[in-house]
């Protein structure tokens, strides 16, 4: 309760956001396979990872990687908003 009061989100939601933010960073800066990124970020099932990723960022991991390579994510996108939020939260934790 105190965590949610302090950060506006529950601890499990913040943990999921941090994991997905890390996955987004790996997708945009490495050539690792999506299933490997899923494993590295704590998702045992790549399908579940893809569903969570799409729900968070509005694109599949594969489409996200392609858009990042093309420079199609603007500073106002959901990715950048989430990244700023998780960076701020990570610094406070």
Q: What is the pLDDT of residues 15-27, one digit of tens each?
A: 898 899 899 989 9
% of the chain surpassing 70 pLDDT: 77
Q: What is the pTM of this model?
A: 0.76
Give the residue among 23, 82, 75 at the shortest CA–CA distance from 51. Answer: 23
Give the model's pLDDT for residue 68: 86
What confidence tens digit (pLDDT) does each residue in 29-80 have?
999 999 999 999 999 999 999 999 999 888 999 999 998 888 776 544 566 5
């Amino acid at each position: 309760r105190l965590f949610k009061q302090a950060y506006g989100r529950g601890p499990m939601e913040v943990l999921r956001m941090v994991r997905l933010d890390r996955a987004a960073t790996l997708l945009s800066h490495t050539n690792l396979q999506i299933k490997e990124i899923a494993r590295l970020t704590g998702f045992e099932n790549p399908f579940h990872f893809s569903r969570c990723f799409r729900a968070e960022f509005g694109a599949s991991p594969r489409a996200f990687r392609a858009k990042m390579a093309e420079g199609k994510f603007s500073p106002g996108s959901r990715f950048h908003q989430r990244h700023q939020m998780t960076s701020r939260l990570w610094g406070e934790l």
